[in-house]
C-alpha cells in the first residue's frame, strides 16, 4: 500500500486535492476516509439537510467542553464522517468570503493568499449559474445556483432590507458582497453538489486514484520526514507509504489532533499525553475560531410558510417528488435569500450575515411554534474570541477536547445585541406588513441589554464554521503551523490543507474557501506556476465611514 500522495480526509479540501493532484495522470493518489457512502436521500436530497447532521453514521458528533459564557452549555460541533466530509452534511450555502479577509491573511504572513491571489482559484472551481459575468467561474466542477425563490416571504426579506435603507446585491460572490439578495447553493439538478460529487467521484474513475476506507491513527515520521500513515482497518493496524508527501485534510478538529498524535504540537501537552515530541509547534490546536448565530423567529399571519409541509405525510410527498423527478421542495435547502451588512459606520466590509428561512424551525427539524412562521439565522462573523483543540488522551479513537471560548471578547456582546435590534428593525418593515405576527424568539419582552444577553447565553449556537487550528503564516511566526506553501514547519513531506490553516476566519460559510484551499494547495504541491493574480477590485460602500447602510 503506497502512493505518491496520501490525502487524509475526503472533505471539501481533500476531494479537490485528490482531483487536481491526479488529473495529469503522472501521480498516484490514495485518499484515506473513515466515513462511509454518501448514497441515499438523507445526504443527496437538499431539503433533508437536517438529517445527516443529526446522524452518528455521517457525523463525528463532537461536543465542545462546557462554554463558560453560554451558561456552561456544551455546543454541538459536527464534522462530516462520510465521503465528501462536511460538504456532504452542510447547509449547501456558497459564500467566498470577503476580499478584506484574504488580504488580511497575506498581511498575517500567509503571503500569496491575498484576494488577488485566491480569486482566480475561486473562479477555477466554480460553475456558476446566474453569477456576475467576469467575476465568476463558469466551467469548474463545483456547480453553484440560486434557489427558485418562489415563496413570497423570501422576496419580502430582500424588500425589507431595501426599505430599511440597506444595499441590495445581484451577486454577493461577485463584485459587490454588501447587501440583501438571493442566496447561492451548491446544488445541481436537484441534488446536493458536495465536494465528493464535484471532485472525488470523477477522480476515482482514474486508475491512479484510490479511496481507502480506514481510520488514520498517526503520521509516520522518520528522520524528520513524513513517510506514511499508520491506519487501522478491519481490526488490523498497518502503514501506508507516501513516496512524495502526506497531506492532512481532516478538519479543524481532526487535523490538529492527528498532528499531535504524531508528535507535532505544543511540547508540554504532548509530554503530558506521553507522546514523543518530534516537533515543538505551540500553534497546533490553538487559534480555534468559529461563527456563532441565533434564530430570530416570527409568526406568519398568512399560511405561506413551509409549515404546511412539516407533517410526515407531506414530507413524504416532497420526498417522493424528489426521488422520482428531482423536482419540488426537496430540490432546495430553502435558504434562498440572505444579507451581508456592516454592523457600524467605520466598518469597511460586511461583518453580519443573515440566512433567511420561510419557516420557524430548529436544526433538528422541530417547529418553533405550532403555526406558520419565518426566521433568520443571524450572526456577527468577525469575533475576536479564540479557543483551542487538544488531546483527551493518547488513544487515537478518543474525541478531541474542543474549547471554543465563545463570547469571551466584550465586543461580541455589543455586536450580537446589535444583531437582535437590527433584525427587529428589518422585520418591522412594510414588506412584512401582510405577514408579521408576534415575535416568537427572542420575544417582545426581551429589550434591555441584560435581557438580550440572557437570551444570547441560552440560544447562541455554532454556525459550524470551525477554522484556524493549524494556522498558516511565516516560518518565523512561533504560532504558525504551516508556511504559505501549506508545508508543516519543521517536517519534510507533510502538509495541511483545509480550513484549519486559515489565519483568520473568513466571512460567511466555509465550504467555498475550504475547496479553494484544496485547489490552490494542489498547485503548490505540484510546483506549478500559480494562476495569474487578479486585478479586479471589489465594490466598497462609498458611505462606509459615516453609515452602516
Which cell is 46 given?
437538499
Minimal CA–CA distance to 317: which of 2, 104, 47? Answer: 47
Residue 11 annotated as part of some ligand binding site: yes
Minimal CA–CA distance to 228: which of 215, 219, 236, 216? Answer: 219
Residue 88 annotated as part of some ligand binding site: no
* CA pair distance 160, 180, nearest whole angstrom: 9
The single-letter DSSP state of residue 200 is: I
Residue 10 annotated as part of some ligand binding site: yes
Residue 379 annotated as part of some ligand binding site: no
Residue 32 annotated as part of some ligand binding site: yes
* CA pair distance 170, 158, nearest whole angstrom: 11
Residue 331 annotated as part of some ligand binding site: no
Residue 40 annotated as part of some ligand binding site: no
Which cell is 546 given?
459615516
* CA pair distance 456, 224, nearest whole angstrom: 47
Q: Which helix (H) or strand (E) holds 280?
A: strand 279-280
Contact 467, 290 (CB under 8 A): yes
Residue 13 annotated as part of some ligand binding site: yes
Residue 543 annotated as part of some ligand binding site: no
Residue 190 annotated as part of some ligand binding site: no
Residue 6 annotated as part of some ligand binding site: yes
Residue 14 annotated as part of some ligand binding site: yes
Q: Name residue 127's beta-bridge partners.
A: 138, 143
Residue 4 annotated as part of some ligand binding site: yes
Q: If you write DSSP's letter for every residue of 245-260 in order, what string do you get? A: EEEE-SHHHHHHHHHH
Residue 24 annotated as part of some ligand binding site: yes
Residue 9 annotated as part of some ligand binding site: yes
Q: If you write DSSP's letter for every residue of 120-166 in order, what string do you get? A: HHHHHHEEESSPPTTTS-BSSSEEEEE----SHHHHHHHHHHHHTT-
Residue 467 annotated as part of some ligand binding site: no
291 catalytic? Reply is no
Residue 158 annotated as part of some ligand binding site: no
Q: Angle, nearest 10°, between helix axes 99-107 and 115-125? A: 130
Residue 294 annotated as part of some ligand binding site: no
Residue 16 annotated as part of some ligand binding site: yes
Q: What share of the chain is helix, strand, coil (3-state, %, to 5)?
A: 30, 25, 45
Number of alpha carbons in the 13 Å side-chain half-sphere of residue 60: 27
**Catalytic-role residue among 418, 459, 465, 524:** 465
The single-letter DSSP state of residue 528 is: P
> What are the strands, taking DSSP E only, across 11-138?
29-33, 62-63, 76-77, 126-128
* CA pair distance 400, 280, nearest whole angstrom: 19
Residue 389 annotated as part of some ligand binding site: no
Residue 229 annotated as part of some ligand binding site: no
* Residues contacting 476, CB < 8 A, separation 6+: none
Q: Name residue 222's beta-bridge partners.
A: 225
- Only one residue has cell 465542545, namely 64
Residue 31 annotated as part of some ligand binding site: yes
Binding residues: 4-33, 82, 90-93
Binding residues for FAD: 4-33, 82, 90-93
Catalytic residues: 465
Amino acid at each position: 500500500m503506497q502512493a505518491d500522495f496520501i490525502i487524509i480526509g475526503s472533505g471539501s479540501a481533500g476531494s479537490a486535492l485528490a482531483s487536481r493532484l491526479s488529473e495529469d495522470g503522472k501521480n498516484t493518489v490514495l485518499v484515506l476516509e473513515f466515513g462511509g457512502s454518501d448514497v441515499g436521500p438523507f445526504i443527496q436530497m437538499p431539503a433533508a439537510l437536517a438529517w445527516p447532521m443529526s446522524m452518528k453514521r455521517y457525523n463525528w458528533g463532537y461536543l465542545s467542553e462546557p462554554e463558560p459564557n453560554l451558561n456552561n452549555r456544551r455546543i454541538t460541533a459536527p464534522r462530516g464522517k462520510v465521503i465528501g466530509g462536511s460538504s456532504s452534511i452542510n447547509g449547501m450555502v456558497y459564500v467566498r468570503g470577503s476580499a478584506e479577509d484574504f488580504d488580511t491573511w497575506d498581511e498575517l504572513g500567509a503571503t500569496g493568499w491575498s484576494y488577488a491571489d485566491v480569486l482566480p482559484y475561486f473562479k477555477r472551481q466554480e460553475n456558476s449559474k446566474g453569477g456576475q459575468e467576469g467575476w465568476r467561474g463558469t466551467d469548474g466542477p463545483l456547480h453553484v445556483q440560486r434557489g427558485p425563490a418562489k415563496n413570497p416571504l423570501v422576496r419580502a426579506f430582500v424588500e425589507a432590507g431595501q426599505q430599511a435603507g440597506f444595499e441590495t446585491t445581484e451577486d454577493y460572490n461577485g463584485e459587490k458582497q454588501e447587501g440583501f439578495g438571493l442566496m447561492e447553493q451548491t446544488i445541481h439538478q436537484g441534488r446536493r453538489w458536495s465536494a465528493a460529487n464535484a471532485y472525488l467521484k470523477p477522480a476515482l474513475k482514474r486508475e491512479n486514484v484510490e479511496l481507502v476506507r480506514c481510520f488514520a491513527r498517526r503520521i509516520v515520521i522518520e528522520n524528520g520526514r513524513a513517510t506514511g500513515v499508520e491506519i487501522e482497518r478491519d481490526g488490523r493496524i498497518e502503514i501506508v507509504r507516501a513516496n512524495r508527501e502526506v497531506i492532512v485534510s481532516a478538519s479543524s478538529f481532526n487535523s490538529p489532533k492527528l498532528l499531535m498524535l504524531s508528535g507535532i504540537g505544543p511540547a508540554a501537552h504532548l509530554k503530558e499525553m506521553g507522546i514523543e515530541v518530534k516537533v515543538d509547534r505551540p500553534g497546533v490546536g490553538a487559534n480555534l475560531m468559529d461563527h456563532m448565530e441565533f434564530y430570530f423567529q416570527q409568526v406568519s399571519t398568512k399560511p405561506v410558510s413551509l409549515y404546511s409541509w412539516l407533517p410526515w405525510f407531506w414530507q413524504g410527498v416532497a420526498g417522493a417528488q424528489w426521488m422520482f423527478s428531482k423536482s419540488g421542495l426537496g430540490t432546495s435547502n430553502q435558504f434562498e435569500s440572505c444579507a451581508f451588512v456592516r454592523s457600524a459606520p467605520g466598518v469597511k466590509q460586511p461583518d453580519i450575515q443573515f440566512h433567511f428561512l420561510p419557516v420557524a424551525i430548529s436544526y433538528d427539524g422541530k417547529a418553533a411554534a405550532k403555526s406558520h412562521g419565518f426566521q433568520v439565522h443571524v450572526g456577527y462573523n468577525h469575533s475576536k474570541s479564540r479557543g483551542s483543540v487538544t488531546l483527551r488522551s493518547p488513544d487515537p479513537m478518543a474525541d478531541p477536547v474542543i474549547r471554543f471560548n465563545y463570547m469571551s471578547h466584550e465586543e461580541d456582546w455589543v455586536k450580537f445585541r446589535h444583531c437582535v435590534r437590527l433584525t427587529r428593525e428589518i422585520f418591522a418593515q412594510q414588506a412584512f406588513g401582510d405577514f408579521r405576527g408576534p415575535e416568537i424568539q427572542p420575544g417582545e419582552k426581551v429589550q434591555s441589554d441584560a435581557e438580550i444577553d440572557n437570551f444570547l447565553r441560552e440560544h447562541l449556537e455554532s454556525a459550524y464554521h470551525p477554522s484556524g487550528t493549524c494556522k498558516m503564516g511565516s516560518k518565523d511566526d512561533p504560532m504558525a503551523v504551516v508556511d504559505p506553501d501549506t508545508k508543516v514547519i519543521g517536517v519534510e513531506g507533510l502538509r495541511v490543507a483545509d480550513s484549519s490553516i486559515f489565519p483568520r476566519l473568513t466571512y460567511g460559510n466555509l465550504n467555498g474557501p475550504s475547496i479553494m484551499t484544496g485547489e490552490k494547495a494542489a498547485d503548490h504541491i505540484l510546483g506549478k506556476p500559480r494562476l495569474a493574480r487578479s486585478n479586479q477590485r471589489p465594490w466598497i460602500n462609498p458611505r462606509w465611514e459615516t453609515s452602516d447602510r
